[in-house]
Structure 1
Amino acid sequence: MEQQMASQRKRALPAAVLLLVILCASCPGTVECRRKRHGSLVWRGEKGYEGSSTFSYRTMGACRALTVSVKDFGAVADGVTSNTKAFQAAVAHLKKEAPCNVGGGQLYVPPGRWVTGSFNLTSCFTLYLHREAVILGSQDMNEWPIIDPLPSYGRGRDAPGGRYSSLILGSNLTDVAITGNNGTIDGQGAEWWSKFKGQKLHYTRGYLIELMFSDQILISNITLVNSPSWNIHPIYSSNIIVSGVTILAPVNSPNTDGINPDSCTQVKIEDCSVVSGDDCVAVKSGWDEYGISMGMPTRHLLIRRLACVSPTSAVIAIGSEMSGGIEDVRAEEITAVDSESGVRIKTAVGRGAFVKNIFVKGFVMKTMKMAFWMTGSYGSHPDDGFDPAAVPVVSGVSYSDISAVNVTTAGRLEGIPGAPFSGICISNATIEVIKSKKAPWTCADVEGSAAGVSPPPCAALPDGGAAAGSCPYPSEKLAIDLVELKECSSAVPR
């Protein structure tokens, strides 16, 4: 097992190193680079941290009234002992002794390697990881209990029926933060990937973090590695900030999506770096008839300063599960290296709902299979109960200020016969395509316009048609982008 995990880490390393080089290319030094890229949620740096009696953190709600260490509940940092009961007991203690009306509680994870199975969070709660703290997902699958499938999916993504719990989860919560000084949560996913590929799992794999039906979620300044499947999955939730997060998995690991906002509103993802075996960010809202019945769209999403390496998947995927609808997605200052596609829209007959008002601005890509990709025939279904008359509507998709080099195909744009994707706009896009006998663009069942695009797009997007030579991008800020986080400090538990 150790040899297998070491091999997986080695395969992830070149892509991770490449990503870090790109991120810091414009910065004079490592620490300064981190500060610039992580914006307001800046890493505090390492000087003065060791031996300090206090540490700083931020919340979307109140500063925490009580901070305790997981060690206080019997946890052992030897990388072997199961600490599931200790984490669960610590959260229960804080829920009782530091409720929301006094500001809530904070669980401090000190340096060490802390093995745990699934544990639930509570409201008005912060999980804080020291930079040398590593939370390790238990290798005992019995410590990931089986739970019901998501109502907007009707079944698990990997297999019909239930699913394994996520490592860190919660439901119906308010004001939750998972943060730290770049501590690590390691899902130890190699065994899960092996069993999945060998079709030895009867249930869908768990995620690293899943929060449901919750409000005011902050996930910042942590590193997530080797998730069994998706890494961060907020669902049926609102007012979410994911900032300064690094996500790493081998590029051949199955379905290790980075950040998947799902039936969520008012979401900001900024200053994050992802190397994964699937989409770096995947925007979702339910699957076929189950998502249509749930009727919870993803709306008002901002993705800013994202860096991605994903050789077999998209930098940002819209869908394929989008049956609650997806609207008002904004992506800007995106960097992609060695990835399959830029922003990919995936849908199919049976999905229903809509994808509309998608805005992309300032996208730099290097070594890509496709710069632009959208398809209306991404036909996986949860079961045979989908409605063949549920035809999705895709409209208002804008790309501007795009630069791409070493690209195999400029664009593959394929809508739905009889229901073309409309309002596609591309402006100020320069794509250096590898010499090939294949046409740089393929288009079918799409309608739109272009301006200043090289190589010239297909006839369905006539150059010069974009109004004023550029595609639209909203000028007003989203409400989540106006949220000011509260600065807090706490004594380090001894």
Structure 2
Amino acid sequence: MEFSQSIRFLMVRILATWTVAMATFSGATECRQTEQIGLRRLIGDYESPTGCRAHVADLTDFGGVGDGVTSNTKAFRDAVGNLSMYSDDGGAMLLVPPGRWLTGPFNLTSHFTLFLHSDAVILASTDLDEYPIVDPLPSYGRGRDIPGGRYSNFIWGSNLTDVIVTGDNGTINGQGQIWWDKFHNKELNSTRGYLLELMYSEKIIISNLVFVNSSSWNLHPVYCNDVVISGVTILAPTTSPNTDGIDPDSCSNVRIEDSFVVSGDDCIAIKSGWDQYGIRVGIPSEHILIRRFTCISPYSAVIALGSEMSGGISDVRAEDIVAIHSESAVRIKTGVGRGGYVRDVFVRGVTLHTMKYVFWISGNYGSHPDDGWDPKALPEISGINYSNFVAENVTMAANLEGIDSDVFSGICISNVTISLSPKPKKVQWNCTYVEGSTYDVRPTPCALLPENGAPCAFPTETLPVESLQLDICSK
């Protein structure tokens, strides 16, 4: 099948999947990897899983009302507070049954599963008074939108172990329009919170759910280890501000797979702190695996590294990636003052249609938290490997901008075929302050990336997070 026919087929399939996801959601249910699902019990007129945790409760047991109007803030908080008592006794699961469950922000707890029925929708309150102002992240030093603190995240937790957020493809709706409007109108005095953020936590699974209309970033694990994000759908208008899909931030051992994002910002953005604050905290993002991932984001990247990367980013592996109508496939965003490093990045098996750039490295990303950044803090960018890309309807093959006196080195690009748009840029490869090589790349790369006769490397050893298995709960 010709490439253009393949893309048309893929677009039809994705649009069909999106339409179904926006109407009714169904799918497999996952439980703790070390246990098998037992029986299912009947609650009302639907069956719910039992056995993944020793203790199971329904939101209605705590007074929940799923009419889309009644506030369930107290019900969610009481439920989590009650179930947290079982963390040392086999853990607990909170079931969210069919309905529209309006609530303000609430925390999660350890050894805990939040499970959404396929017809369950958790609706974030649009009453901003329900979102207290909290401290900024240590590695950022201030709110990301504006100086100062930030509004509470919608669902969050800190210092947790063994947390599962999953379901039969139920929905978590951030109802972000009010936040987007106030952000555009400069009516917010603090940074927007995120739809789901876990801090200083480990053994996290987020799976088989749909996240829509976040106020800002959708999924934000920060200072976490052993994170699996699998089978999620994330949807936001492509014009919505900063609605990143998945942002692992100063995290180690992360697996992102079998997921689909439509976003107003980067579909995946790997981060590790901002300028002097990220350098001081010094927690890198490393050992990150991305596979079988699809993105639509006309104004941003499919996979971004940075711009906040001051704690370092290394050992990132991505493969089997599809993007339709996105600004760039892979973008490294950094600049003077960032410090840190991005190294040992491997991306292969990428199919693209309608792109501004295929490859983009920005060494002049100048956004800083305040005036305290160090002009001598230069980033290290090295060991960047891209292979087996096929792209159609591309405006410009590559825009690769290093920094004077800080050459970005070890860039390898191989087995790449790029077909240009009807009105392409006259210069297809813009290269400054970069060093590396290419192999079998069309159109012909810039002189700073000469042909060397060998394809790029991809690691053969597996990452520990690859062996983390997600057992399927039987029906």
Q: TM-score, normalised by structure 2?
A: 0.91
User: Is the contact between residue 73 and residue 89 of structure 1 (CA under 8 Å) also seen in structure 2?
Assistant: yes
CA RMSD of aligned residues (A): 2.5
CA displacement, residues 172-228 of structure 1 (integer Å, 9 cap, x when unaligned):
000000000000000000010000000000000011100000000000000000000
Superposition pairs for residues 20-35 of structure 1, below 5 Å? 21-23=12-14
Matches within 5 A, 1:10-159: 21-23=12-14, 53-55=47-49, 63-96=52-85, 98-99=86-87, 101-159=88-146
Aligned match of 1:474: 459
- Structure 2 unmatched runs, 5+: 1-7, 34-41
CA distance, structure 1, for counterparts of residue 50 and residue 380 of structure 2: 46
Alignment: residue pair count:
452
Matched with 2:37 is: none
Indicate if the aligned counterparts of 2:48 and 2:95 stay in contact, CA closer than 8 A: no
Matched, 1:446 2:434: yes
**1:396 pairs with 2:383:** yes
Q: For 1:381, which of 362, 368, 378 is the aligned residue? A: 368
Among the aligned pairs, what percent are the same residue?
59
User: Is the partner of 1:313 in helix, strand or coil?
Assistant: strand
Contact 1:56 1:489 (C-alpha < 8 Å) held by counterparts: no
**2:432 aligned partner, one-letter code:** A
**Paired letter, 1:165:** S
Check if 1:190 corresponds to 2:181: no
Q: Which amino acid aligns with 1:231?
A: N
Q: 2: distance between equivalents of 1:226 and 1:376?
A: 31
Partner of 1:13: none
SS at match of 2:298: coil
Q: State the one-letter code of the partner of 2:12.
A: V
CA apart distance, 1:141: 0.7
* Distance in 2, Cα, partners of 1:25 & 1:198: 35
Displacement of 1:21: 2.6
8 Å contact 2:391–2:418 — kept in the other structure?
Answer: yes
Could you tell me which of 335, 338, 348 is aligned with 1:348? 335
19 and 79 in structure 1: CA distance in 2 versus 1, 3 angstrom threshold: farther
| Structure 2 CA distance for aligned equivalents of residues 85 and 168 of structure 1 | 14
Give secondary structure in 2 for the equivalent of 1:196.
helix
Cα deviation, residue 485, structure 1:
2.8
8 Å CA contact 2:84, 2:92 repeated in 1 = yes
3-state SS of the aligned residue for 2:299? coil
Counterpart contact for 2:302–2:329, Cα < 8 Å: yes
Aligned counterparts of 2:237 and 2:311: Cα–Cα separation in 1: 31
Contact 1:243 1:270 in 2 (8 A): yes
TM alignment of 1:30-429, pairs within 5 A: 53-55=47-49, 63-96=52-85, 98-99=86-87, 101-429=88-416
Q: Which amino acid aligns with 1:453?
A: V
Deviation at 1:55, TM superposition (A): 2.7
Task: Give how far 1:51 is off.
Answer: 5.3
CA distance in 1, matches of 2:429, 2:142: 37
- 3-state SS, counterpart of residue 336 of structure 1: strand
* Superposed CA offset, 1:258-307 (max 9, x none): 00000000000000100010000000000000000000000000010110
Contact kept in structure 1, 2:434 and 2:448, CA below 8 Å: yes
The residue number in structure 1 matching 2:5 is none
After TM superposition, the structure 1 stretch with the greater mean CA deviation from structure 2, 257-266 or 69-78, is 69-78
CA contact (8 A) 1:54 1:489 kept: no
Give the letter aligned to residue 455 of structure 1.
P
Asked if 2 retains the 8 angstrom alpha-carbon contact of 1:56 and 1:487, the reply is no
Q: Contact between 1:233 and 1:260, CA under 8 Å: does it hold in 2?
A: yes
Instruction: Report the Cα offset of residue 433 of structure 1.
Output: 1.4
Higher RCO (CA < 8 A, seq sep 6+): 1
Q: CA 1:227/1:18 → structure 2, altered by over 3 Å: closer, same or farther?
A: farther
| AA of the residue aligned to 1:470 | P
Change (3 A) 1:249 1:382: same
Secondary structure of the residue that 2:179 maps to in structure 1?
Answer: helix
Structure 1 Cα separation of the partners of residues 244 and 323 of structure 2: 15
Residue 45 of structure 1: aligned partner: none
Deviation at 1:19, TM superposition (A): 7.5
In structure 1, give the amino acid aligned to 2:157. G
Q: Offset at 1:489?
A: 6.5
Which of 433-442 and 285-294 deviates more?
Answer: 433-442
Q: CA separation in 2, counterparts of 1:326 and 1:216?
A: 20
* 1:319 to 1:415, Cα distance in 2 relative to 1, 3 A: same
